[in-house]
Amino acid sequence: MGASADYKAGTDPEKDETYMAKAESIAVGEVDSLDAAEAFLREHNFSNEYLHELLEDKEKNRRLVRKIDMVVLPLLAGTYVLQYIDKQAMSYAAVFDLFTSTGISQTQYSWFASIFYFAYLGAEYPWVYLAQKTRMAKVVAGCVLSWGSVLMVTAACSNFGGLAACRFFLGVFEAPVTTCFMMMVSMWYIRSEQPFRAGIFYCCNGVGSMIGGLLSYGIGQIDTFPVWKAVFMTCGGATILWGFVLFAFLPDSIMSARNFTLEEKALLIGRAKLAQTGVLSKSIKWYQIKEAFLDPQVWLLTLFMLLNEVINGGIANFGKLIIKGLVSDPLLTTALGIPQGAFQVFWILSGTFLASKLPNSRTIVMTMYLVPTVIGTSLMWKLDREHHKIGVLFGYYIVGSFVTSLVLALQMPATNLGGYTKRITASAIVFTAYCVGNIIGPHAFLASEAPLYPTGCIVILACSVTQMAVAVGLRMLLIARNKRRDEAAAAIGEVEVTGPEEAIDRTDFEITMAKSKSAKRKRNAQADLPKKVPKAAGNLTPPPDGAALEPKHLKTIVSDEELEITLETLTSLAQYPSLTKSKACKDLRVAVYDFRQACTTGLNTAEGANLTARITGALVDEKWLEARILLAEMRIRGEQPKIGALCRWVRDLDVVSGLSTQPEALDHVPLERSAKDMELLSVLDAVLRVSTPIDTSPDAVDSTSPIAFQSIWDLRPATPPLPVYASVLDKSILAHAPKSPSAIRIIDRTPGPLRKPPNHHAAILYYHRPERRPAPPPPARPSHTTPTPPSPASSVNFLPDAPLREDGDMSILAHNFYWVVDTTFHDMLWARISPYVPPVVNGCLARGINRRFRVYRYVPGAEYRCHIDGAWPPSGILPDDTYVYDSSPEDKRQSSMYTFLLYLNDEFEGGETTFFMPAAREGTLNAYPVRPVMGSVAIFPHGESNGALLHEGTGVRKGAKYIIRTDVEYDVKPSKE
Ligand SMILES: O=C(O)CCC(=O)C(=O)O
Ligand SMILES: [Fe+2]
């Protein structure tokens, strides 16, 4: 009896959520990190839509669950029954001739039980780790085979040492079973289906107890062979056979399960995806570990578990010996023990049923179900054995009710504690208490006191009564916490939907703390307000300037932890749109809506807010239709967006023109586009119509498709291109590299997040010591293209270790690095280019080019999606190598008005710089591709200059494209010069 469910340390069903969640977040190009489930879905062409269809099919789901119940569950339950019987084999043997045959003492017998749990405690984690890393079912089957063999070997032992060693290894090999099975249950069943299956496991102990009893009753009939040996050999033999059954039939994973069809497997994967509703967290959070150790609830549970298992350790090993003292015949002892298993099934089923039916009754049931244990022990201890045999026996039957309290306590960390790390830490602490209790328990039963064991009975009584007190304490703690939480909630003006009573067993320390903290912060925030702000009390109309009411620091309102938890929660929930529609998420939805309003459109949504801000809000919210309506309104009003807004709108739309996929031969064949692309293009069209003049060119090719491809502007000479890329690949280009590469150095490094816009990667700026060069010759041929002399750019770019940075920004897929050129080089290039640059724009004089060059390399697949360039100040460098972002004179600031592109090679296919203008036909953009010519420069307006042009670096189809991109600088203010 007794040693019921082994504690499922670390078996939180959420443990493998990392597994499925990974499958959810697959971005193109991450093929390496695809997990097996996702790979399976892809391999068999199961689309998300189809998965959803399957998930919605109630009948299919029902049939599937029944199949798992028939195919997988019996294997798990069978193992559990055997595990129980095998663990108990020693106590069955003890009833017969174990003591007499081996000469062991009762104290030594007590040690067998303890040794088992020492091994159990030590082996649990390594096994589970191995099982997770390898094939779980095979690890389990291997362990079952091994412990079966250990039982067989036990039969061959003849002294304490041998038996103790066997006991130890039995503990080692039984250790992984419960945890692994809980993981399997969470793999095959969704959460709502799990408690019932867990119930089946717990009952297996009772079933095991009955079968074990019957079995040893049968074996006990033998009189030609030592019965205790026969017990071990029978149990061992059956277990070994079962081990083979597991090897053959227990699936390692959903994907490798043989009895399930492809469709069933897809449905299983879908269900697993849906079941992972918890907060995903792979990282260990130290504050949660600390919190687990400081949380009285964890320690109360630990104490409860310890006491419970002390009882278990005693009853499981000595219960039968107590009956043995009652009747003299070992066979009768065994037979009389059998109903105890049935009682155990009754206790567990009734207790868990009550706890699930009566709201917030868990701690009450935990307390009540200790009463039969107290009564039963008292009966066994105090009743006169001669005259009240039945009463003693009845005491023995009912004593097992404490197991129900264990089953309920086991579920508490998972339901009551917030935070994954906190939960597994708490589980580990409680699991240790479980083992320690079982190690201590048997030692309360002193050999000298057999068969009454008064000390053992007193210990059991003491433990049960203390447990009751602990359960009451636990309940009080939870009630107090809920009360605190609700007060905190009320203080921050929340509407509490559940009363404190209803929430008793759902307490979450973190949430409570968060709420009371946030109430406190709310008070702080009030205190943080500028003194002159009038008190809000009694003032129903908010002050006109809402911003004045805002506290200055984020931390006044929320802590870093809260931000982190919120982020994780929202990220996890975002993966399951259908779940976010559930009733439980209602408040969250309202809060998120308000939050979005505040972030994106916020005050701007108010009546009369400016159009630009409303359009920005609509675009961020992906309300495409609304954005188009607002843009149309802007057009009617004749308003123009600010360049910053315009750049951001276009950048956020992140439109892929698709032109790179369209070889010239198919120039005018409309591309097939997805509905989403069409939508984005229609918004882009609307954006351009408020910012860029309509293209009225009579030569423009008309088209009904959203992008009308115009003829390529091709000035490439007919001569074969210089094989620049080839010389990079074979390194022959290095012949042109500077003789002293050490002259190139990094002068600045901007971390990715600080870049504007932020980037996944840092920006690294290189500088090259100036070299004396003769003054440049005057331009040879006046043309819109200007061949440049072999520039130091090529030397820097093509250095063997030239750090080409991969830019993680969504739309810039070219590799690039930054290079601040020296003034000599700048002056030379400026002298070459300035004759072709508008010398004055809006009265502002042209001053030079930005010395901060960006060098790009596009390989096939890389493109720079549709965008409008922003303006940059001229960067420079101080004599001590300090990088200066804006080096223009303070009293005569400069900013760029033209983009400057220098094509460094041209032996590639595709890779045009394509410009877009709104066509006469509404909904169509004319695309003008310019074919790069090596050594030539393209300049076009950007920033605040009139006519900032939408353009893209169209994808390269073959080869590699190298360019330098910088800006042409102008005075910010018009001058009278
Ligand atoms: O690569 C191109 O042709 C265009 C590059 C570009 O648009 C930019 O750097 O802003
Ligand atoms: Fe650009």
Which pLDDT score is estimated for 26?
A: 26
Q: Measuring CA to CA, which residue among 665, 689, 728, 723 is closest to residue 857?
A: 728
- The per-residue pLDDT for range 713-749, each reduced to its tens digit, is 888 888 888 888 888 888 788 777 666 655 677 777 7
622 Cα–ligand 2 center, Å = 24
927 Cα–ligand 2 center, Å = 15
Per-residue pLDDT band for 376 (boundaries 50, 70, 90) equals very high
Smallest CA separation from ligand 1 atom 4, residue: 953
Q: Is the CB of 951 under 6 A from ligand 1?
A: yes
702 Cα–ligand 2 center, Å = 25
Out of 811, 952, 961, mutate this one to test ligand 1's pocket (max ligand atoms within 8 Å of CB): namely: 952
905 Cα–ligand 1 center, Å = 14
Element (H, E) at 963: strand 961-971
Highest mean predicted confidence (pLDDT) among 49-53, 448-452, 566-570? 566-570
965 Cα–ligand 1 center, Å = 7
> Is 372's pLDDT higher than 90?
yes
Q: Across residues 573-594, what is the average pLDDT?
A: 78
Q: How far apart are CA 209 and CA 116, in angstroms?
A: 18
Which pLDDT score is estimated for 897?
A: 93
Pairing of strands 950-953, 937-941: unpaired
Q: Which numbered atom of ligand 1 lies nearest the CA of 912?
A: 3
Average pLDDT taken over every residue of the chain: 77
| Both structure tokens of 633 | 């309104």
Out of 899, 914, 934, mutate this one to test ligand 1's pocket (max ligand atoms within 8 Å of CB): namely: 899
Contact of 415 with 505, CB cutoff 8 Å: yes
Which pLDDT score is estimated for 716?
A: 87
Q: Measuring CA to CA, which residue among 238, 197, 203, 191 is closest to residue 89?
A: 238
Q: List the chain domain ranges.
A: 10-72+258-277, 726-909+936-971
Q: How far apart are CA 262 and CA 606, in angstroms?
A: 53
Closest ligand to C-alpha of residue 938 is 1
Per-residue pLDDT band for 832 (boundaries 50, 70, 90) equals very high
User: Looking at 382-386, 399-403, 457-461, 625-629, which range is the least confident one?
Assistant: 382-386
> Is 21's pLDDT higher than 60?
no
Pairing of strands 815-820, 763-768: parallel
923 Cα–ligand 1 center, Å = 25
User: Looking at 92-101, 500-509, 918-927, which range is the least confident one?
Assistant: 500-509
Q: Which numbered atom of ligand 1 lies nearest the CA of 951?
A: 7
Which pLDDT score is estimated for 660?
A: 81
Dihedral pair phi/psi, residue 613, rounded to 5° = -65, -35
Out of 816, 937, 951, mutate this one to test ligand 1's pocket (max ligand atoms within 8 Å of CB): namely: 951
961 Cα–ligand 2 center, Å = 15
Any idea of the CA torsion for 146, 148, 149, 153, to the nearest 10 degrees? 130
> Is 545's pLDDT higher than 70?
no
The residues facing 873 across adjacent strands are none
Q: Which numbered atom of ligand 1 lies nearest the CA of 911?
A: 3
866 Cα–ligand 1 center, Å = 9
| Residue 254 CA from chain centroid, whole number | 21
131: exposed, middle or buried (C-beta count within 10 Å: 0-12, 13-18, 19+)?
Answer: buried
Please report, for the chain, how many H helices and E strands are present, in that order: 32, 20
Q: Which numbered atom of ligand 1 lies nearest the CA of 899?
A: 10
**Which residue intervals of 362-419 are DSSP H helices?**
362-368, 371-382, 389-398, 402-416
The residues facing 766 across adjacent strands are 746, 819
Q: How far apart are CA 500 and CA 553, in angstroms?
A: 33
- The per-residue pLDDT for range 484-527, each reduced to its tens digit, is 777 766 654 433 333 322 222 222 444 444 455 555 555 555 55
Q: Is the CB of 965 under 6 A from ligand 1?
A: yes
763 Cα–ligand 1 center, Å = 17
Q: Is the CB of 869 under 6 A from ligand 1?
A: yes
Per-residue pLDDT band for 790 (boundaries 50, 70, 90) equals very low
> Is 247's pLDDT higher than 60?
yes
Max Cα–Cα distance, the chain, nearest Å: 125
202 Cα–ligand 2 center, Å = 66
673 Cα–ligand 1 center, Å = 24
Using only the alpha carbons of the chain, give its radius of gyration. 38
Smallest CA separation from ligand 1 atom 10, residue: 869
Residue 565, CA distances (Å) to 280, 287, 468 in order = 10, 12, 35
More confident residue, 33 or 692: 692
Residue 66, CA distances (Å) to 59, 194, 260 in order = 11, 13, 12
- The per-residue pLDDT for range 197-238, each reduced to its tens digit, is 777 777 888 888 888 888 888 888 887 888 888 889 999 999
Q: Which numbered atom of ligand 1 lies nearest the CA of 965?
A: 9
Closest ligand to C-alpha of residue 914 is 1
Which pLDDT score is estimated for 600?
A: 52
ipTM of the complex: 0.99
Residue 353, CA distances (Å) to 182, 359, 366, 536 in order = 20, 11, 12, 51
Q: How far apart are CA 67 and CA 62, in angstroms?
A: 9
Smallest CA separation from ligand 1 atom 6, residue: 953
Contacts of 939 (CB under 8 A, 6+ apart): 833, 836, 837, 898, 899, 900, 901, 968
Per-residue pLDDT band for 584 (boundaries 50, 70, 90) equals confident
Residue 190, CA distances (Å) to 35, 151, 568, 888 in order = 20, 36, 21, 64
Q: Which numbered atom of ligand 1 lies nearest the CA of 814?
A: 1
Contact of 123 with 176, CB cutoff 8 Å: yes
Which pLDDT score is estimated for 770?
A: 61
Per-residue pLDDT band for 547 (boundaries 50, 70, 90) equals very low
Q: Measuring CA to CA, which residue among 709, 643, 714 is closest to residue 947?
A: 643
Q: Across residues 794-804, what is the average pLDDT?
A: 31
Per-residue pLDDT band for 898 (boundaries 50, 70, 90) equals very high
Out of 864, 914, 949, mutate this one to test ligand 1's pocket (max ligand atoms within 8 Å of CB): namely: 864
Q: Across residues 345-357, what is the average pLDDT?
A: 82
Q: Across residues 125-146, what is the average pLDDT?
A: 88
Out of 809, 863, 901, 939, mutate this one to test ligand 1's pocket (max ligand atoms within 8 Å of CB): namely: 901
> Is 862's pLDDT higher than 80?
no
Q: Which numbered atom of ligand 1 lies nearest the CA of 914?
A: 3
Contacts of 260 (CB under 8 A, 6+ apart): 67, 254, 268
Q: Is the CB of 963 under 6 A from ligand 1?
A: yes
